[in-house]
Structure 1
């Protein structure tokens, strides 16, 4: 007798199949599982059991193509582009920042917002061309941008069709993707325009919690990019008033970075004011005249004091947070493969390097570079120790040991920060070591910062300011190693087995015996260094103020 009722199907979710109950096949999770409090394990990929000539009894397997897996993809090429972004480009895009925005949020929105999907496909196509380019130099060359530009234009046209309830948030997300496209293409002016428009929308649109959490931190760092890459006399919007209250504790690296990014932006504004306050007229021969004594407004010193207090607060919170991350280091080393614990160490050292940059800039603001350097010797020394330690922690296997670095990352990483330190440092030995570390930790392209250009500019600065050829300096045998501590006479002689230094703990500052604001005089450390060679500031053609605040001069160096 024939079975009554509906035809039995086998397309239900995995959980309902295991329970042998009827599934309503809701996507992405079925309603039956949700109502009963169970976790819906999703659905198996469909397969076609068909013979090539049409026989129903054959068992030829046809797998799903990528454009079937990714919702909204209209062709296999779009599906492959989304798959490449999901597996390769997205996880690499963040560099030294939390990748969640690229690996989760962007992909989620690409499933139902055509403008986001087209922008992601454009990014993926450009990234894929650069990723498989055999050239090792930072200048990315593209064989064909037709597909990327086509989807870029489609994304622009798709902005007017966004029907989301919070349209401003989606537009801001797409704006970030547009900036990324222009970063990869190397179009500075277009990237700056998108940054400017995005910041204006951010300041005038309602402040949704989602925007504050995921988009505001990115635009804060883009504001930093606009500061360095815009014309010196350009004005850009201040978004510091959008920041929330000062946190009382850090629970993630992202929270620590968010607060430090705000402080970094404040510090760069101080440096810009300092740069404008210094008179550097050119002579008839094109040389810069010596810096003149200036008078500065009391407001600048008030801002400097405010930033110093914020840095003290950040350091205190980070010192309390760091032991928790040390426990995660041990947990990652025990349970994770591919040297996952190294990523946590890298994030920690990156934040501490940024912190020291802010301290050093405060020391040299409205002062001559030599005096500011003398107050910052301890800061430079800590950076070198931190990064030398991090170098010793690079794993021998896994993604961080891959000799092929990603050709591009969206965020500013070690490269630009180490370049800032090279230009503000006076000690030749430290400068040579910073350049060596830059060659290790800098990536080929960090948004528009190019590793090769930064290193070439740093070398040229050293040549001009020290009056010699870099090749001769690099071969000097007097350069010290910062990878190991030199024991002092009063250290315990029994401690022959040197412990691995934890550069995230408060002891790294306490052992230097400096003041709480981190601005020690550095006289003792500076006096004991052997072979110390300071630059001749009267010949500092490419002085620190110029190189920090006008990095495009580096493109004119070496010709």
Structure 2
């Protein structure tokens, strides 16, 4: 029971409530739980009136000292980078979840500042001569370099695997903004390994937001990866539902099918354009092809059903149209590659869609 004269807190996380201690109410996981090595079971769903209180804070509300350049970078991420970085996908991960983690996780905060500085550099110099982006590196941006190095130091001592894969995702952004393909692929591979071999997926926010992003990023390994090793797709396996509840679910399934399709193309390359060209592929590969074609057909059936059931509201109409378009493009690309005649070009040597 609370002490006499004190007011009982009803908005803390489920773990702190069970322990009957005061929760600091940091979201998505409270600091009191994460600092003591406990698993934070999250919070009960907020009522509509309280929902607005769960949104990310603006940079001027963040604790800790920020100098002028750091503050400007945080503000730029909050207003420009976060809303635009996800493209056709839901921006909540960048505009809310990542920003909330910057409040108490230094590696996330410094990574965000580095991303913001590089993103602004890229967008401001977009009108420069063609090909200049490929020559841009961290050494040309002292603010990004300093904060990236600090983020790496914090990552080395980080024990929470959920936060590790989150920071890994931010590092992929940093390397991609520099056109550093090899380093970005290494971070993608390491993040995939951690997702499949640790307790990272025990965190609901990782499963809901980080896992889908890594599922989509795995496409880069098929286009640009070197060597015979292919990413393990088991951790990203998406079970076919009875129906799609929204376009995010449709996107999650088509991302998985897309990756399976390109994995099969890589595995069967030697029969399409390699040393065994003209020979019949083994039954196992043919069976996988039939399975993927069936998944594509199932996806189309579920997608058409979703379209029939859904009526986009005015508020979300533009976002929904974009998500629908992205899902259809991925589906069409998969169908195109599976219906194309044999070619001597390896999937990794093609231009991405």
Q: 1:222 aligns with which of 192, 208, 217?
A: 217
1:169 maps onto 2:143 in alignment: no
TM-score (normalised: structure 1): 0.49
- 1:251·1:321 contact (CA, 8 Å) conserved in 2? yes
Larger radius of gyration: 1
CA distance in 2, matches of 1:139, 1:92: 22
- 3-state SS, counterpart of residue 215 of structure 1: helix
Give the 4+ runs in structure 1 shifted more than 6 A: none
Number of residue pairs the alignment of both structures matches: 299
Residue number in structure 2 paired with 1:72: 64
Residue number in structure 2 paired with 1:274: 268
Residue number in structure 2 paired with 1:422: none
Residue number in structure 1 paired with 2:205: 210
- 2:196·2:235 contact (CA, 8 Å) conserved in 1? no
Gaps of 5+ in 1: 1-25, 29-36, 43-65, 282-290, 370-542, 554-559
CA distance in 2, matches of 1:82, 1:278: 49
Q: 2:258 aligns with which of 264, 273, 281?
A: 264
CA distance in 2, matches of 1:149, 1:74: 16
CA distance in 1, matches of 2:178, 2:207: 28
Residue number in structure 2 paired with 1:99: 91
- 1:110·1:116 contact (CA, 8 Å) conserved in 2? yes
CA distance in 2, matches of 1:246, 1:39: 34
Higher helix share: 2
- When residues 324 and 88 of structure 1 are mapped into structure 2, their CA distance, relative to the original with a 3 A threshold, is farther
Residue number in structure 1 paired with 2:323: 347
- When residues 296 and 343 of structure 1 are mapped into structure 2, their CA distance, relative to the original with a 3 A threshold, is same
- 1:67·1:73 contact (CA, 8 Å) conserved in 2? no
Shift of residue 83 of structure 1? 0.9
- When residues 134 and 349 of structure 1 are mapped into structure 2, their CA distance, relative to the original with a 3 A threshold, is closer
CA distance in 2, matches of 1:198, 1:184: 18
Q: 1:147 aligns with which of 137, 143, 146?
A: 143
TM-score (normalised: structure 2): 0.76
Residue number in structure 2 paired with 1:514: none
- 1:96·1:347 contact (CA, 8 Å) conserved in 2? yes
Shift of residue 170 of structure 1? 0.2
CA distance in 2, matches of 1:362, 1:223: 19
Q: 1:293 aligns with which of 278, 289, 295?
A: 278
CA distance in 2, matches of 1:242, 1:355: 17
CA distance in 2, matches of 1:211, 1:221: 14
CA distance in 1, matches of 2:51, 2:321: 36
- 1:84·1:124 contact (CA, 8 Å) conserved in 2? yes
Shift of residue 310 of structure 1? 1.0
